[in-house]
Amino acid sequence: MSQTPLARLNAAHKRYGQVTALDGLSLEVNRGEMLALLGPNGAGKSTAISLLLGLQTPDRGSAELFGEAPHSIEARRRMGVMMQEVNLSPVLKPREMIGQVASYYPTPYGAAEVVKRLSLEKIAERPYGKLSGGQKRQVQFAMAIAGRPELLFLDEPTVGLDVNAREALWQVLRDLIHEGVSIVLTTHYLEEAEALADRVAVVTHGRLVAGGSVDEIRAYVTRKNILCRTSLTREDITAWPEVQELREDAGMQHITTRDAEAVLRRLLAADANVKDIEVKRAGLAEAFAEITAANSAAADASGNGMETAK
Amino acid sequence: MSASGSLMTGGRVLSAYLSDMRLELTKMARTPAFAIPTILFPALFYLLFGIAMGGGRGDAQFAIQALARWSMFGTMAPGLFGFGVSLAFERENGQMILRQALPMPAGSYLIARMINAMAFVAISTLLMLAIAVFIGHLPVSVGQALRLLLVNVTGVLPFCAIGLFVGSVISGQAAPAIINIIYLPMAFLSGVLFPIPVKFLQLIQPLWPSYHLGQLTLGAVGGTWMGELSHHIAALVGITVLFFILAMRKLGNRGISLLGRSGPTGTAMPLRRAVGLVMLAASIGLVLLGIMGGNAPHTANVAATSKGDSVDGSAAPPVAEASTAPLGVAAPVSPVIAEFDGGSAAAAYGIGFTATDDKMRGGNSSVSQRLVDGGADHTRAALEVTGDVGTAIQYPFVGTSFLPNGKPQADFLNQGYMDYSSRHTLRFDARGDGKNYMVVIMGPRVDAMPGMYGFVAGPEWHEVRVPLQDMGGVDLHRVKVISIGSMSPGEFRFQIDGVRIE
């Protein structure tokens, strides 16, 4: 099995009039991995996906799917896709829709097989228009995998799903990865990326600002959270220079700091009765916030006036 | 899940096309708000205007022609709405983009939609045929039915193309209203469903594809049509190609390609662009040809000879088959019919020329004739016919008539025939107000299509030559009447002189 990436953006630029959507973005998706694409709205994630799907072409740089131009139908017969904000025909039934998409592929799953795997039996014969928002997303996901793709593009797959359905879908995604499928995922739920992704790419202003494993991304962030129960007042704690943020939640103090050791020493010295101390590394959410904020500040400071895509 | 799995066999590709077709049909069948009005309304209109009103007069030919007319109406909606409204919505709600991303085979969407529109048209036409046969008890022949079906099923294509273009331009919200604004006026301004009494609107009828398709459906049942069928076909083909190209360009600008996708930088691009431009120019040429041809004088049109055909829908009782009617008397050797120089409108033989209106058939046209000084070729006098064609009946016709073997005491049905089979040309000089006029030659069967030949009477005298052998259904062994006059509503004035048959 060759090691060429399944999908690749190489220094891709894309402008819409005066708006720069992608500013030299490079990405690679390798076999059997899940890449989570993170970034604020308008960062260029959707444009990046559009280029990889061949829906648009880069102004400069290149996009490849299975080593071919992404608009090649042969390349697209090896991938599945689930988009955001697609309204499908309200009168068709999920089983019919899954079968239709499957018919476009050389060796698809049968509609019944997909329905069973995703436990959609109850809704498979119900008109699409009568399904809830979450059920519609499940059907769209079923359509994405119906062709037995090697590469899946999933744009916000779990929006609108309840907790059980989301957990079930995550399990299917893990199974697919295990079977060797590659997945490109965009999501607003950072815990989703944290739970599933091998690699994370953070995109802002059309550029890759951070990339690596979830742990590597977290390491970008030096801040830590200290949780504790203490009799010290808010004023006592915020007076310490090392403390960036403080909030109280159900009697627990949440102290955010760049220097956990110094804060811990002060805490133990000032309050002999301090309890339930817990030190946490920042999650992906904090990392993400910090990375994107830092880049926005840099972009603003450099005054290049880059705007985000629609 | 190996790479070799991406090889798609021909069978798989075919099944993808079939799956798209099947689901498009399923969608439409499950959307009664589309299916019912699209199929039922034209059929109900036909029932009302074609059967109820035509049948009440015991008028089979009127009802068969009405079938052709309203079947055209039934063909417009599946094309315009099926493509226009659906495409506009699917463009907006993201379905179109999803289709672009999926490995849908090239053109599958268009083919599925087209088959869908054709299926709807087939149902619509078949329903009207059923109404004609079972409710109207009309003698529709299998040939007429098959030709009508074929014309309508293929005739939906220009409307598909127009719908495709409109759907590529407007928003889903606006689509139903805008398509209706196109659909209904286009249907009624064609003059195919009802005659239009406004001269200017008559003049621009050839602009509407509905007009051209209407002439073809009339031709399919052997009714009376205008212009040349080849011109109507040219106009419809041109409109189809023109709007299809415009729609593809518009969609291309929006990043949508329904014909399979290709890179914008491919080497084939200049070639594709050139081919596109040539086709665009060719389609505009065809449309212009069709429009010009559609505006030409009404020329001879051939009657289907099935029983019950007649141009005017007169309520006359059927008479014997032409072949069993007595032969006409032999025509005089002299080719001269009338010179109008002897102080009367009388011909060398027979009855006429006499002014004839359509009041006997329920019309409200008026006509009068007189001799005027100054005939063609500096002869003394000519016959001038003036009048006003009314719109009370479907096919008004007034003018001046000549019965070569006419008997003064007999009524029209029992007039004699003349055998003109040895003659090839009826010719006469004509001038007038520049409008279209018609030569009508009828045989024994008043319920059969007469031979018709159109000409324009311009300000200067010129010779009109009517090729008798090319007039289709006319039985030259048994000519009962030769009329020259007008079918176009409004006032008219023309002069004739030197009428000969040779």
Q: Does any CB of chain A come closer than 8 Å to the CB of residue B99?
A: no
CA-to-CA distance for B125 and B47, rounded, in angstroms? 13
Nearest to A105 among B95, B101, B103 (CB): B103
Are A71 and B263 within 8 A, CB to CB?
yes
pLDDT over 90 percentage in chain B? 36
Confidence (pLDDT) at B446: 62
**Of A122-136, B182-196, B267-281, minimum mean pLDDT range:** B267-281
What would the 3-class secondary structure string for A191-254 be? HHHHHHCCEEEEEECCEEEEEECHHHHHHCCCCEEEEEECCCCHHHHHCCCCEEEEEEECCEEE
Q: Model confidence at B191, in pLDDT bands (50, 70, 90)? A: confident
**Of A113-127, B370-384, B434-448, minimum mean pLDDT range:** B434-448
Residues of chain A contacting residue B95, judged by C-beta atoms under 8 Å apart: 86-89
CA-to-CA distance for B201 and B165, rounded, in angstroms? 25
**Domains of chain A, start order:** 7-218 (3.40.50.300), 222-281 (3.30.70.980)
Q: Does any CB of chain A come closer than 8 Å to the CB of residue B40?
A: no
Residues of chain A contacting residue B30, judged by C-beta atoms under 8 Å apart: 91-92, 127
User: B358 to chain A, minimum CA–CA distance in Å?
Assistant: 55
The answer to whether B399 and B439 have CB atoms below 8 angstroms apart is: no
Are A104 and B16 within 8 A, CB to CB?
yes
Q: Model's pTM, two decimal places?
A: 0.68
Nearest to A150 among B1, B20, B262 (CB): B1
Confidence (pLDDT) at A213: 85
Confidence (pLDDT) at B311: 37
Are B98 and A85 within 8 A, CB to CB?
no
Q: Tens of pLDDT along A164-214?
A: 888 999 999 999 999 999 999 988 777 788 888 889 898 888 888 888 888
Q: Does any CB of chain A come closer than 8 Å to the CB of residue B265?
A: yes
Among candidate residues A209, A205, A210, A208, the one with its CA nearest the CA of residue A304: A205
Whether A291 shows a pLDDT value over 60: the answer reads: yes
Residues of chain A contacting residue B19, judged by C-beta atoms under 8 Å apart: 99-100, 103
Give B426 or B266, the one with higher predicted confidence.
B426
**Of A94-98, A112-116, A156-160, minimum mean pLDDT range:** A156-160
Confidence (pLDDT) at A91: 94
Residue with tokens 């709007």, as numbered in its chain: B243
Give B19 or A296, the one with higher predicted confidence.
B19
Q: Of the CATH numbers 3.40.50.1820, 1.10.940.10, 2.60.120.430, 2.20.25.10, which one belongs to the domain with range B322-501?
A: 2.60.120.430
The answer to whether A61 and A207 have CB atoms below 8 angstroms apart is: no
Q: Tens of pLDDT along B443-455?
A: 876 666 788 888 9
Q: Model confidence at B295, in pLDDT bands (50, 70, 90)? A: low
For the residues of B376-398, what is the DSSP string, one character each?
GGG-SEEEEEEEEE--SSSS--E
Nearest to B15 among A85, A103, A107 (CB): A103
User: B39 to chain A, minimum CA–CA distance in Å?
Assistant: 19
Residues of chain A contacting residue B26, judged by C-beta atoms under 8 Å apart: 91-92, 96
Q: Model confidence at B397, in pLDDT bands (50, 70, 90)? A: confident
User: B27 to chain A, minimum CA–CA distance in Å?
Assistant: 6
Contacts of A121 (CB under 8 A, 6+ apart): A115
Interface of A with B (CB under 8 A): 53-57, 66, 69, 71, 73-74, 76-78, 81, 83-89, 91-92, 96-97, 99-101, 103-107, 127, 147-148, 150, 153, 179-181
Are B103 and A76 within 8 A, CB to CB?
yes
Q: Where are the domains of chain B?
A: 10-295, 322-501
- β-pairing, A79-82 vs A151-155, is parallel
Q: Model confidence at B299, in pLDDT bands (50, 70, 90)? A: very low
Q: Tens of pLDDT along B71-101?
A: 999 999 999 998 888 899 998 888 888 988 9
Q: Which helix (H) or strand (E) holds B431?
A: strand B425-432
Are A83 and B101 within 8 A, CB to CB?
yes
Q: Tens of pLDDT along B417-438?
A: 888 888 888 999 999 998 889 9
User: A218 to chain B, minimum CA–CA distance in Å?
Assistant: 34
**Of A119-133, B156-170, B266-280, minimum mean pLDDT range:** B266-280
Whether B3 shows a pLDDT value over 60: the answer reads: no
Confidence (pLDDT) at B252: 85
pLDDT over 90 percentage in chain A? 46
Q: Does any CB of chain A come closer than 8 Å to the CB of residue B9?
A: yes
Residue with tokens 């604004």, as numbered in its chain: B181
CA-to-CA distance for A68 and B269, rounded, in angstroms? 19
Contacts of A200 (CB under 8 A, 6+ apart): A35, A36, A38, A193, A210, A211, A212, A213, A214, A217, A284
Contacts of A308 (CB under 8 A, 6+ apart): A19, A21, A40, A41, A42, A43, A44, A205, A206
Residues of chain A contacting residue B268, judged by C-beta atoms under 8 Å apart: none
Whether A1 shows a pLDDT value over 60: the answer reads: no
The answer to whether A119 and A148 have CB atoms below 8 angstroms apart is: no
The answer to whether B490 and B447 have CB atoms below 8 angstroms apart is: no
